[in-house]
Structure 1
């Protein structure tokens, strides 16, 4: 039996995210429910409670115009905003990443919040694999005991849908698999 995930929803950053979503609902005058799919550092934070970020990488189930000036100050004194430049087309993602995303109980009205599942979150970081990505991936591997095989299977399947030269992605994947293999030991 799979143990349910306990998301870090009581942190200052998660409460800031909740306020950001409430403000977004109000500012856009939403009338119908939509889904928000979170990736990046905020997703890592919701899983581990340890990652700090100031931007929210998200895509939505319906077209929505995001206010460029939407900011929330968290209880930790950080400013939190929606990254209006985020585009999931630039990440390496399995074709079922939205279907396999997990719902986060944030208690918002019209915006249902989901995060990429742990393996998809790791795979999504392979394309860039810079800055905090290695430590994010290591934290996810430790938290969930994700194996190198699980990452490789999902990434290889995602690579089938990639258009272009995948050599750079495969090089990054090798580095991620080394991280996962060392954690396996």
Structure 2
């Protein structure tokens, strides 16, 4: 996992800022807010192949604190950072991100990797697994999404695990037609790129 790059530091700075906002709103119980990292930020932490201009994150607030969280996401400030390739850069929180718009395995939260968990902090941060990240890329399945899947394979994602879990997700994905063909296309194209066909 790539957690010590300028971009990774910007991601964690943003979560530190969110933690402060939670404390100011009365969030005191450890893990009363759980954040799951998706999208380009998750790609960076898993592979370091690129950066992103926005943080895609699902934030789950404990039921008793949901009222205190109203407006919090919209108040998250951007984070400036200096990227080695792109120079001065800005990371913003995507307040419109919704993981339900992409195919997702039902156990993505169970399979997520704890980055900052089991601490006294009210904010616990998780990174979705390589497999669940690859599955989420099957929805839009544009050129960059396909490249991301190949990069996750190169970073150690098992083709068998991807096929099995992606097919499970396809069984109950709503409004996601053609997932089995996308799954097999991604696998065959990766094998072709790697000279395995």
TM over 0.5: yes
Deviation (angstroms), 1:11? 0.4
1:57 matched residue in structure 2: 56
Structure 2: which 5+ residue stretches go unaligned? Answer: none
1:130 matched residue in structure 2: 142
Q: Residue 21 of structure 1 contacts residue 108 of structure 1 at CA under 8 Å; is this kept in 2?
A: no
Which of 56, 68, 74 in structure 2 is aligned with 1:67? 74
2:174 matched residue in structure 1: 163
1:4 matched residue in structure 2: none
Query: Scaled by the length of structure 1, what TM-score is found?
Result: 0.84
Q: For 1:21 and 1:86, how far apart are their aligned partners in 2?
A: 16
Alpha-carbon distance change, 145 to 97 in structure 1, aligned in 2, over 3 angstroms: closer
CA RMSD of aligned residues (A): 2.3
Deviates more, 1:127-136 or 1:61-70: 61-70
Which of 28, 32, 43 in structure 2 is aligned with 1:31? 28
More helix by share: 2
2:158 matched residue in structure 1: 146
- 1:37 is paired with a residue whose SS is strand
Q: For 1:184 and 1:120, how far apart are their aligned partners in 2?
A: 25
Structure 1: which 5+ residue stretches go unaligned? Answer: 1-6
Query: Scaled by the length of structure 2, what TM-score is found?
Result: 0.80
Aligned residues: 177
Cα deviation code 1:45-104 (max 9, x no counterpart): 111122211111111221543025520001322111111111011111111111111112
Q: Residue 28 of structure 2 contacts residue 121 of structure 2 at CA under 8 Å; is this kept in 1?
A: no
Alpha-carbon distance change, 110 to 175 in structure 1, aligned in 2, over 3 angstroms: same
Q: For 1:170 and 1:145, how far apart are their aligned partners in 2?
A: 18
Q: Residue 66 of structure 1 contacts residue 84 of structure 1 at CA under 8 Å; is this kept in 2?
A: yes
Which of 104, 122, 125 in structure 2 is aligned with 1:110? 122
